[in-house]
């Protein structure tokens, strides 16, 4: 019987098609930018939408444009506590005396007339009375009695301290664009529009496991020559931060049957698979063999440090398919390849529209050795120097197995492909780990 391919396979590019568009493609010496470009052209976004209440939409990817159903604010209102009047009253260089005819409170407007020579006491957020277009803040006025108020000349211009209806958002204007990852401000904005539910992309399901016969899980005895599996924990953290649903498949032994079963199960249950270990040259294992056997997977040596070996592609099992990121085994290399390759791809799969990572130029406190012809991701500590300017120093030993370098760091120092040695005082590019949450 002829097997029908899953729907996406009919339009999905193959890796060969993607790389055929690149000049000078060499999988054994692949610059970081080219690897990123290949991943970008290969990975397609998911199309699965669910509706959630706005509180549950935090950190989710908006699946449709939100158009404002109302004017925000709905009415012209005051930006200050003061007195509202018609700017036609403003009398050049002479002081102005106005008779107070009423009060407009936030939520309880003054709805009487305001005649010539009159004003209304008004609170912040209160609706502007009919015919008034200007508010003088209370602190600029003097009052000899409650019935009238004095303004010195030139303290306000026509239209001052008035918020216009729809100035935040006019009805029919796009408020939030599809692909936005919703942050606290966006939840507030949705609430201000009276929107109770929004369409979001369903969470991406990511399965991951570690490979290597030397790996032990926490709780197991640490036999001679063995290490605890730390990669599943850094991956857990990074994937959670990205808002993925995760399937932690543990450590998979270096055994063809176990690996095949793990890859098939991951493929049938997840949108993407992340493995660590077993993709470097000369590894005496079956990981690479199984990856190649189950799909369209390529093996790269990337011009980067740490990192270098990485597998990427898509595997298939029982009518399902999943993108595959075979990350290197070294703990720092796992994090760096995740951040600079997998992260963007996963966001793209989620349908998120995200700007490129923001790199900032700061002064390097010390010299850094660097070979041109590869991109280096050194772990750095960004601090404020005595003169108030920002500077960065690297966190000591930078070996790709030294996870402490990553834990101590608060930023990554990104030294570009062409860059050579850095002298103390030179500017370097950094990517801070944490922003405003």
Partnered with residue 51 across adjacent β-strands are 199
Q: Is 307 among the residues that bind ligand AMP (CB under 6 A)? A: no
The first and second tokens of residue 149, run together, are 């108020």
Radius of gyration over every alpha carbon of the chain, rounded to an integer in angstroms: 30
- The pair of structure tokens assigned to 146 is 């409650």
Q: What sign results for the dihedral spanned by CA atoms 387, 409, 237, 288? A: positive
Q: Which stretch binds ligand AMP (CB under 6 A): 270-278, 314-322, 344-352, 367-375?
A: 270-278
Q: Is 309 in the site for Mg ion (CB under 5 A)?
A: no
Omega within 30 of 0 (cis) for the link into 34: no
Three-class SS of 245-278: EEEEEEEECCCHHHHHHHHHHHHHHCCEEEEECC
Q: How far is the CB of 18 from ligand AMP (least distance, A)?
A: 25
Q: Is 278 in the site for ligand AMP (CB under 6 A)?
A: yes
Residue 329 sits in the site that holds ligand AMP (CB under 6 A):
yes
* 276 counts as binding ligand AMP under rule CB under 6 A: yes
Nearer to Mg ion, 278 or 380 (CB): 278
Number of residue whose CB is nearest ligand AMP: 329
Strands 162-163 and 427-432: unpaired
Q: Considering only 41-49, 129-137, 144-152, 211-219, which stretch makes contact with Mg ion by CB under 5 A?
A: 211-219
Give, for 321, the enclosing helix (H) or strand (E).
strand 320-327
Of the two residues 43 and 335, which places its CB atom closer to ligand AMP in the complex?
A: 335
For residue 62, give the nearest of 71, 51, 73, 70 by alpha carbon: 51
The nearer residue to Mg ion, 275 or 378, going by C-beta atoms, is: 275
Q: Which of 166, 331, 351, 380 binds ligand AMP (CB under 6 A)?
A: 331
Q: Please tell me the distance from the alpha carbon of residue 238 to that of residue 341, in angstroms, as a whole number.
A: 13
Q: Could you say which of 129, 306, 328, 380 contacts ligand AMP (CB under 6 A)?
A: 328
Q: Which of 49, 155, 283, 431 binds ligand AMP (CB under 6 A)?
A: 283
Stretch that binds Mg ion, among 116-124, 153-161, 208-216, 339-347 (CB under 5 A): 208-216
Minimum distance between the CB of residue 400 and ligand AMP, rounded to whole angstroms? Answer: 8
Residue 68 vs 211, nearer CB to ligand AMP? 211
Interatomic CA distance for residues 435 and 437, integer angstroms: 6
Backbone dihedral angles phi then psi of residue 344, each to the nearest 5 degrees: -65, -40
Residue 353 DSSP code: -
Instruction: Return the residues of window 268-307 that contact Mg ion according to CB under 5 A.
Output: 277-278
Stretch that binds ligand AMP, among 91-99, 160-168, 329-337, 428-436 (CB under 6 A): 329-337
* Smaller CB separation from ligand AMP, 284 or 436: 284
Q: Which is nearer to ligand AMP, 214 or 429 (CB)?
A: 214
- Pick 72 or 302: Cβ nearer Mg ion: 302
Nearer to ligand AMP, 149 or 333 (CB): 333
| CA pair distance 303, 299, nearest whole angstrom | 13
189-248 residues in contact with ligand AMP (CB under 6 A) are: 210, 212, 214-215, 227, 229-231
Looking only at residues 379 through 418 of this chain, which bind ligand AMP when binding is defined by CB under 6 A? 401
d(C-alpha 199, C-alpha 185), whole Å = 17
How far apart (Å, rounded) are the C-alpha atoms in residues 139 and 334? Answer: 60
Out of Mg ion, ligand AMP, none, which partner does residue 160 contact, by CB within 5 to 8 A per kind? Answer: none
Binding residues for ligand AMP, rule CB under 6 A, total 18
- Residue corresponding to tokens 């990337």: 302
* Binding-site member from 212, 309, 326, 351 for Mg ion (CB under 5 A): 212
Six-digit token string for 419:
């860059």
Looking at beta carbons only, is 43 or 249 nearer to Mg ion? 249
What is the DSSP code (8-state) at residue 88?
Answer: G
Kindly give the pairing relationship between strand 82-85 and strand 134-137: antiparallel
What is the rounded distance in angstroms from the CA atom of residue 368 to the CA atom of residue 257? 46
Q: Minimum distance from CB of 215 to ligand AMP (Å)? A: 5
The CA-based angle 417-335-379, given to 5 degrees, is 60
8 A C-beta contact, residue 207 and residue 342: no
Instruction: List residues near ligand AMP by CB under 6 A.
Output: 210, 212, 214-215, 227, 229-231, 276-278, 280, 283, 328-331, 401
Contact residues: Mg ion, CB under 5 A: 212, 277-278, 329
């Amino acid at each position: 019987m002829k097997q029908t391919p899953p729907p996406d396979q009919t339009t999905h590019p193959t890796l060969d098609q993607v790389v055929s568009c690149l000049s000078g493609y060499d999988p054994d010496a692949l610059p970081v930018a080219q690897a990123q470009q290949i991943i970008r052209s290969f990975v397609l976004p998911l199309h699965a939408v669910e509706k959630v209440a706005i509180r549950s939409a935090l950190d989710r990817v908006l699946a449709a444009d939100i158009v404002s159903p109302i004017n925000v604010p709905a009415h012209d209102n005051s930006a200050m506590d003061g007195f509202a009047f018609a700017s036609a009253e403003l009398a050049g260089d002479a002081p102005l005396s106005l008779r107070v005819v009423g009060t407009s409170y936030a939520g309880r407007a003054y709805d009487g007339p305001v005649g010539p020579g009159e004003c209304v006491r008004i609170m912040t957020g209160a609706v502007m009375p009919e015919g008034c277009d200007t508010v003088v803040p209370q602190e600029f006025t003097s009052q000899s009695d409650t019935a009238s108020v004095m303004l010195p000349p030139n303290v306000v211009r026509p239209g001052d301290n008035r918020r216009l209806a729809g100035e935040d958002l006019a009805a029919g204007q796009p408020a939030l664009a599809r692909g936005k990852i919703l942050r606290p401000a966006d939840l507030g904005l949705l609430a201000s529009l009276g929107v109770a539910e929004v369409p979001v992309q369903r969470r991406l399901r990511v399965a991951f496991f570690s490979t290597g016969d030397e790996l032990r899980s926490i709780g197991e005895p640490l036999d001679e020559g063995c290490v605890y599996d730390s990669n599943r924990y850094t991956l857990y953290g990074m994937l959670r931060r990205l808002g993925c649903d995760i399937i932690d498949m543990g450590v998979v032994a270096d055994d063809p049957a176990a690996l095949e079963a793990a890859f098939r199960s991951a493929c049938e249950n997840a949108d993407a698979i992340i493995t660590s270990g077993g993709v470097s040259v000369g590894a005496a294992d079956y990981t690479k063999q199984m990856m190649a056997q189950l799909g369209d997977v390529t093996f790269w040596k990337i011009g980067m440090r740490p990192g270098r070996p990485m597998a990427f592609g898509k595997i298939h099992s029982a009518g399902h398919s999943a993108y595959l990121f075979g990350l290197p085994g070294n703990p720092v290399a796992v994090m760096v390849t995740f951040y600079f390759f997998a992260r963007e791809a996963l966001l793209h799969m989620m349908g998120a529209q995200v700007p490129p990572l923001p790199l900032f130029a700061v002064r390097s406190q010390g010299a850094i050795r660097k070979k041109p012809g590869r991109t280096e991701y050194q772990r750095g500590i960004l601090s404020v120097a005595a003169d108030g300017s920002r500077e960065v120093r690297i966190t000591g030993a930078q070996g790709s197995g030294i996870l402490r370098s990553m834990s101590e760091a608060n930023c990554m120092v990104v030294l570009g492909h062409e860059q050579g040695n850095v002298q103390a005082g030179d500017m370097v590019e950094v990517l801070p780990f944490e922003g405003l949450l």
